[in-house]
Structure 1
Amino acid sequence: MTSSSIPVITIDGPTASGKGTIAARVARALGWHALDSGALYRLTALAVARAGGDGGDEAGAAAMARGLDVAFRDGGIWMCGAEVGDEIRREAIGNLASRVAAYPAVREALLERQRAFRAPPGLVADGRDMGTVVFPDASLKVFLDADVAERANRRHKQLKEKGFSANLCDLLEDLRLRDARDRDRAHAPLVAAADAVIVDSSRLGIDETVQQVLDLWSARGLAR
């Protein structure tokens, strides 16, 4: 089986739209692999932060991206031999990731690493440019959106459940700024692919959203 013949479902969308959770559950339902591309950018941001950087050095951030010592195993995310799944979900790292992700050199450094996740029997990939740049030949492209206020509420609940302090008003402002930065960047901006299906999850639960994606896949006459 050639790489191009391996089916891919891409789920793109803004921060806190739920795309990571949905992608993971869709992958599990289909028995496929999953790629959380945002984790790679957050890992790059974490590496930059640990090196004392503030995201202002494109070449330095790209070097960090190329040299990432990371592994995804046992349901965890590991960097340099330590589990960092919770650490990369901190808002400060998320904001830094949004900044370094705007650099073309960083995106280029991570492009082939992301494409390498494409393996039989299939891949569900979530991010911001999965359907437009990384896997433009994907069998199904979904753009998962949600109202920014609802996304802020979800992120607030998520952080509180993990024991992190969070201010809802600050989260809402951060999301608005991050949305603008992601949509307005010159290289690989956050935008729905021309052939993507828009799914608004503002009033949908996780199970309902997962089922919508699975139904879209089934409707194309493609076997699970």
Structure 2
Amino acid sequence: MIITLDGPAGSGKSTVARLLAERMSFRFLDTGAMYRAVALAVLKGAGDENDLEAVTKLVAACTIEFDGDRLLLNQDDVTAEIRSPEVTAVSSIIASNPGVRNRLVELQRAIGRRGSMVTEGRDQGTVVFPDAAHKFFVTANLEARARRRQRELAHKGVNQPITTVMDQLRQRDERDEQRAHAPMKPAENALVIDTSDLTIAQVVEMIAKKVSG
């Protein structure tokens, strides 16, 4: 069984997906980490994230694998490195590259063939796993998402005004929703969940009941 959770940054989908996977004893796939790995490869190679052809060639030559909770890029553990603000900025750009998306979709589907899984991203229910057993689109209003992201950044020692975080999320939403290839949107048969006024535990419980019911 495959369960997909799609949605914008700051909606809580990653945390919910991870906890849901633990609760159901399913594997968890963090597809955002895969895009971050490509972004890190671009930064390490001093490449131009806007050069579609060069980045497509780069991702084709990379190996991206999960080892438990660790993410390996060309056999190197980059789990911590991919969470930097610099990687975040580049990943939002390379995520619009069709060559990158096509390559990572291949890898994600290969992982999905290994057994039951909860996967989160922005196109999991629409493109990667259109036949998934259960699909959810997790969202929240912009201010709620910005405050969550602001807390995450503060925990990492990065302090940003709420207005700055809101602007960053708004720009990311526009890129994700307006890109020509695999834009972010709810799958036709996805259940949309607004988490603005819900706790993580409430969302996990809601989805778990829907899946088991």
With the shorter chain as reference, the TM-score category is: over 0.9
Q: SS where residue 112 of structure 2 aligns? A: coil
Match of 1:9 among 3, 10, 14: 3
CA offsets per residue over residues 80-136 of structure 1, 9 Å max, x none?
444322322223322211211111111111111001111455111100000000000
Q: Could you state the TM-score of these two structures normalised by the residue count of structure 1?
A: 0.89
* Mapped contact 1:141–1:195 kept (Cα < 8 A): yes
1:195 alignment partner in structure 2: 189
How many angstroms apart in 1 are the aligned matches of 2:183 and 2:96? 8
CA offsets per residue over residues 47-76 of structure 1, 9 Å max, x none?
111111231111111122222233322422
CA RMSD of aligned residues (A): 1.5
2:20 alignment partner in structure 1: 26
- Quick check: 1:131 aligned with 2:125? yes
Q: Percent identity?
A: 38
Match of 2:36 among 29, 42, 50: 42
Q: CA deviation at 1:158?
A: 0.9
Q: SS where residue 116 of structure 1 aligns? A: helix
- Structure 1 counterpart of 2:19, which letter? R
Number of residue pairs the alignment of both structures matches: 213
How many angstroms apart in 1 are the aligned matches of 2:176 and 2:112? 25
How many angstroms apart in 2 are the aligned matches of 1:16 and 1:144? 10
* Mapped contact 1:48–1:61 kept (Cα < 8 A): yes
* Matched ranges for 1:62-101 at <5 A: 62-101=56-95
* Mapped contact 1:41–1:97 kept (Cα < 8 A): yes
* Mapped contact 1:152–1:171 kept (Cα < 8 A): yes
How many angstroms apart in 2 are the aligned matches of 1:172 and 1:91? 15
1:222 alignment partner in structure 2: none
2:101 alignment partner in structure 1: 107
Q: CA deviation at 1:183?
A: 0.2
**Which stretch has the larger CA shift, 54-63 or 11-20?**
54-63
1:149 alignment partner in structure 2: 143
How many angstroms apart in 2 are the aligned matches of 1:141 and 1:189? 16
**Which stretch has the larger CA shift, 159-168 or 10-19?**
159-168
**Residue ranges of structure 1 left out of the alignment (5+ in a row):** 1-6, 220-224
* Mapped contact 1:32–1:120 kept (Cα < 8 A): no
**CA 1:44/1:156 → structure 2, altered by over 3 Å: closer, same or farther?**
same
Q: Could you state the TM-score of these two structures normalised by the residue count of structure 2?
A: 0.94
Q: SS where residue 99 of structure 1 aligns? A: helix
**Residue ranges of structure 2 left out of the alignment (5+ in a row):** none
Q: SS where residue 117 of structure 1 aligns? A: helix
- Quick check: 1:158 aligned with 2:152? yes
- Structure 1 counterpart of 2:144, which letter? E
Q: CA deviation at 1:148?
A: 1.1
How many angstroms apart in 1 are the aligned matches of 2:158 and 2:66? 23
